Structure 1
Amino acid sequence: MAQPKIIVLDDDPTGSQTVHSCLLLTRWDVDTLCTGLTDSVPIFFILTNTRALPAVEAAEVTRTVCRHLKQALALTGVSDYIVVSRSDSTLRGHYPLETDVIAAELGPFDAHFLVPAFLEGGRITRNSQHVLMVEGQPVPVHETEFARDSVFGYRHSYLPEYVAEKTAGRIPAAAVERILLPDLRSAGLAQRLARLTGNVCGVVDAETQADLDQFAAAVLEVASGGKRFLFRSAASLLTALAQLPPQPIPPEAMATYCRPGRRGVVLVGSHVRKTTEQLEVLLSEPDIAPIEVPVAPLKDSATAEAQIIATVLEAVNGAVAADQTPVIFTSRQELTFADAATRLAFGQRVSEVLMAIVQQLPTDLRFLISKGGITSNDVLSKGLALPTVRLLGQILPGCSVVRTGADHPRFPNLPVVLFPGNVGDRQGLATVYHRLHCAEG
């Protein structure tokens, strides 16, 4: 059975956090998509960053990607492929908008599956209930801070009810196909998948990677016979679909990729509680220079950006001169907004400030750690202006490392850690820092 090309539309750049060696694309013109389709690695990612966009813009970006993909597929002659809409394992994102657009442009599909389990981050699904493991105990996601997200909030962690809620009843809970753990571990899964038609919605349990391996094996078997499936998933499913060998450099040895130079830089844009806890631990380390980016003035002043950028860069240069590692982080207070669109627009303004800072960081950086999914996407596409970048692997479970090209005009061969906001334990950010910092001299 031939290996199909796995095409991932990723709504932030962290969906590649369980694979390695593949290309991440920050642009989706036809030529760049052809580069992804003809790459030797069986999976590639298109970083649409749609989770940072209002619904109308997210739909337009997804539609454009799909239309350009159709052209690229025709030009390259690739006919055996699987499309994945990769999104957040805590159920935040533009569902069903993105899968609806993909189905309209690249369909028809026989089914679309929600597979939100992210095993490396302690997110599992059992009996169709999606939960977070917190200190060894399962907590339904609707009881977490993520369900109260100001843009993508929800009331249900029982996935059929989540689907009904998000589709406003267009897909009733009773119409959702439930693939449970016993189904994954039975011999009849492939036959069941083969019977699905009409883009029926399915939700998939998973507690271990073996569960996802079983599901992926059945999917690939049935797809080879002509069935077409679409996926809305977290990252762990991609490991099973891509079937890659272990990454070439182990996580503990990622300092191998560090450049000569004085210091690395840590950039923290995410403001979820887990990130704040990890930041507090990192800031307690010796030789760390905390540099806060005050974001409240950006809400009230149209001219605050230039002063903030200048002040932060002066502090960065001072820290490096004093042989300290700059940790640049957005202020932690939670601001309120009139509506979701205003909140997203403000987030984009904050990101513009952070990317202006990235563009002017010292050229002799040893490494860059970017904390937060949307922040990391903007670091790649705007701060570093990379049309494509090669994924090296993971430095922690769920935390990817990429490297700029040797021809980058300002930061050649710079290792960049893409660290999702809601991944890792309290020591996670400090652990990544130490794994890279240990090679500094």
Structure 2
Amino acid sequence: MGTDRLAALPPVREVPAEQVREALVGTPTVVVLDDDPTGTQTVRDLPVLTRWTADDVDWALAQGTPAFFVLTNTRSLGPDDAAARTREVVRTCLAVAGRRGMDVVFASRSDSTLRGHFPLETDVIARAAGAPDAVILAPAFPDAGRVTLDGVHWLRDGDRLTPVADSEFAADATFGYRSSRLATWVAEKSGGAIPAADVAEVGIEELRDGEVTLPRSRVIVLDAVVDDDLRAAVLAILAAERAGARYVYRVGPSFVRARAGQGAQPPLDDAELSRTVARGHGLLVAGSHVGRTSRQLERLAARRDLAHVELDVAAVLEGAPLDEITADAVDALKRRTTLVSTSRTLVTGRDEAESLAIARRVSAALTGVVRQVVHAAEPAYVLAKGGITSSDVATESLRADRAWVRGSMLPGLVSLWAPTSGPPLVVFPGNVGDDEALADVVDRLEEAACA
């Protein structure tokens, strides 16, 4: 499927972000529970919490923004721990909002290639916040070529559409799946608890003809090829919510941007980068093992002379000491841009639980090294490659409890955080950008650090 179907689509119905912002007046604040930090890449000037104490949530609500993020990092956890953390965040947010006399709604932001704890997280939110009328399912991320059309989720490359179940993402050791049609995917991931018959679809034709009616169903799938499609859906959702409907959102990054009343904005310019990035050398941290990350690292090494300190995963799992690796990285960073990475061979377990346990051990070793390097050498910035890696670097290495999303480094991709203390953090997902993207971003950061 591809050119013919895309060419047959009705014209895009332009829905300006300003129209959504006008509709947002008086609506609840959206609490975005982000299962890794990459959901911030489409937005700017929104708060991010990596802790969720009452004081932290109160700070975020006091900013007066239409939404804020809480980094739960549940994609790196097993189901029981993910459920417990989600429940804790929801209850804290409800309690703090209640004391402030404010209303909140919850978005469960997860991977646009369908990896994550579903329907577990939306089920937990529903039980903690009160049963919703439906779960809105909108994983589309047009900036990165992930679109939903005719109820099917696709990877788009120009006019070529590939069903997401035919991609490397569907073979994920922890969150793999077989279905590209989202109704069938819901049934698959729920183990049949939510049959495909209980999933309704809002098609692209309806979104573009201007008469959007949200059906009654347990799950509502939204088609979306461009952001205007998502904003059209958001207007219908807001109208339904004003009429008394209650929803939980399970979404990709682009829905958050639409729901916050923001449109696509250009990447941060050189002046903004220079004001944010300190002087010196940057520290790059890579934990992602997807093929795209490995290719990007190869191109970065070919284009830039940088130090590379590697953690051998097999040695880490055997309990090898990390003091020498840490010392090498500290010494290197004082002289030039330094990459700290795990070895590129992916080690998995016999099942989902064992694979997650291995990933957590390796991530703990990596972030422990990074924490010591940051403390000893004070990098100009930190760039973390991979969603779970970015989360662990933010929470464990930098202790960035509160931050602001300042904007993106690439169009709609790769966000720059300004923590309230510590170096700026660039959150670079493992599965986005072309082969040159990482090197391009590092070039810009290094120019800012030398300005």
When normalised by structure 1's length, the TM-score is: 0.92
Hey, what does 2:413 align to over in structure 1? 398
Residues 1:436 and 2:445 are matched in the alignment: yes
Contact 1:269-1:371 within 8 A present in 2 as well: yes
Return the offset for 1:404.
Answer: 2.5
Contact 1:254-1:435 within 8 A present in 2 as well: no
Residues 1:343 and 2:367 are matched in the alignment: no
Residues 1:55 and 2:79 are matched in the alignment: yes
Q: Aligned pairs, how many?
A: 423
1:64-91, Cα deviation, whole Å (9 max, x unpaired): 1122122112111112x33110000000
- Mean Cα deviation higher: 171-180 or 142-151: 171-180
Contact 1:85-1:232 within 8 A present in 2 as well: yes
CA distance in structure 1 between the aligned counterparts of 2:157 and 2:210, rounded to whole angstroms: 33
Residues 1:366 and 2:380 are matched in the alignment: yes
Contact 1:112-1:200 within 8 A present in 2 as well: yes
Query: Which of 429, 432, 438 is the equivalent residue of 1:423?
Result: 432
Q: 1:162 to 1:245 in 2, by over 3 A?
A: closer
Alignment partner of 1:36: what SS? helix
Aligned-CA RMSD value: 1.8
Query: Which of 16, 28, 38 is the equivalent residue of 1:14?
Result: 38
Query: Which of 137, 141, 158 is the equivalent residue of 2:160?
Result: 137
CA distance in structure 2 between the aligned counterparts of 1:165 and 1:246, rounded to whole angstroms: 33
Contact 2:289-2:430 within 8 A present in 1 as well: yes
Q: Which runs of 5+ in 1 are unaligned?
A: none
Contact 2:382-2:426 within 8 A present in 1 as well: yes
Query: Which of 199, 205, 214 is the equivalent residue of 2:232?
Result: 214
Residues 1:161 and 2:184 are matched in the alignment: yes
CA distance in structure 1 between the aligned counterparts of 2:339 and 2:299, rounded to whole angstroms: 12
Q: Which amino acid aligns with 2:59?
A: T
Contact 1:142-1:157 within 8 A present in 2 as well: yes
- Mean Cα deviation higher: 45-54 or 164-173: 164-173
Q: 1:122 to 1:254 in 2, by over 3 A?
A: farther
Query: Which of 363, 366, 375 is the equivalent residue of 1:354?
Result: 366
Hey, what does 2:139 align to over in structure 1? 116
CA distance in structure 2 between the aligned counterparts of 1:48 and 1:335, rounded to whole angstroms: 24
Contact 2:44-2:405 within 8 A present in 1 as well: yes
Hey, what does 2:13 align to over in structure 1? none
Q: Which runs of 5+ in 2 are unaligned?
A: 1-22
Q: Which amino acid aligns with 1:427?
A: E
- Mean Cα deviation higher: 252-261 or 203-212: 252-261
Contact 1:254-1:436 within 8 A present in 2 as well: no
Residues 1:386 and 2:410 are matched in the alignment: no
Q: 1:343 to 1:49 in 2, by over 3 A?
A: same
Q: Which amino acid aligns with 1:373?
A: G
Q: Which amino acid aligns with 1:348?
A: R
Contact 2:155-2:161 within 8 A present in 1 as well: yes
Contact 2:48-2:403 within 8 A present in 1 as well: yes
Query: Which of 330, 344, 348 is the equivalent residue of 1:317?
Result: 330
CA distance in structure 2 between the aligned counterparts of 1:158 and 1:253, rounded to whole angstroms: 44
When normalised by structure 2's length, the TM-score is: 0.90
Hey, what does 2:124 align to over in structure 1? 101
Hey, what does 1:376 align to over in structure 2? 390
CA distance in structure 2 between the aligned counterparts of 1:360 and 1:255, rounded to whole angstroms: 25
1:372-406, Cα deviation, whole Å (9 max, x unpaired): 1111111111111122111111111321101222x
CA distance in structure 2 between the aligned counterparts of 1:275 and 1:163, rounded to whole angstroms: 28
Return the offset for 1:287.
Answer: 2.2
- Mean Cα deviation higher: 256-265 or 414-423: 256-265
